[in-house]
C-alpha cells in the first residue's frame, strides 16, 4: 500500500512541479484553506479573485470546485486524515497548494 501511495505522489509531483516553475507570480493573496465540518475543507478566496481547486485525501478521494469572492466555499467528502488541495487562479501567482487536517 505504501508503495502505491508513493507512486501516486511521484506522478502528481511530476505533473505539478513544472507548473509551479513556470507560473510563479507576485500576488500577495492566495486562497485560505481550513478544516470545516466532518470531511470538509473550507476554501476562502481573496476579494476580486476566482480560483478553481481540486483536492484529494489519503484514500485518493478526488473533489473539485470553483470558488469566487464572498462566502467561503467547501470541498466535501474527504476521509479523516490529511487532504491536499491544489488551486489555479486567473491572477498571479496562478497556482497554490496546501494541506489541511480533515476531521
| Domain 2-102, architecture per CATH | Sandwich (2.60)
Distance between CA 20 and CA 41 in Å, rounded? 22
- Return the domain boundaries, the chain: 2-102
% of the chain beyond a pLDDT of 90: 48
Distance between CA 27 and CA 76 in Å, rounded? 28
Q: Give 14-58 pLDDT, tens digit per residue.
A: 455 444 444 444 455 788 999 999 999 999 988 888 899 999 998
3-11 mean pLDDT:
57
Q: In degrees rounded to 5, what are phi and psi of residue 3?
A: -65, -40
E strand or H helix at 33, and its extent?
strand 32-35
Amino acid at each position: 500500500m505504501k508503495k502505491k501511495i508513493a507512486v501516486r505522489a511521484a506522478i502528481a509531483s511530476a505533473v505539478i512541479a513544472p507548473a509551479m516553475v513556470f507560473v510563479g507570480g507576485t500576488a500577495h493573496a492566495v486562497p485560505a484553506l481550513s478544516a470545516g465540518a466532518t470531511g470538509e475543507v473550507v476554501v476562502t478566496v481573496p476579494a476580486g479573485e476566482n480560483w478553481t481547486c481540486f483536492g484529494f485525501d489519503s484514500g485518493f478521494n478526488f473533489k473539485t470546485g470553483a470558488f469566487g469572492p464572498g462566502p467561503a466555499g467547501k470541498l466535501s467528502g474527504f476521509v479523516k486524515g490529511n487532504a491536499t488541495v491544489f488551486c489555479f487562479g486567473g491572477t498571479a501567482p496562478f497556482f497554490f497548494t496546501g494541506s489541511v487536517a480533515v476531521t
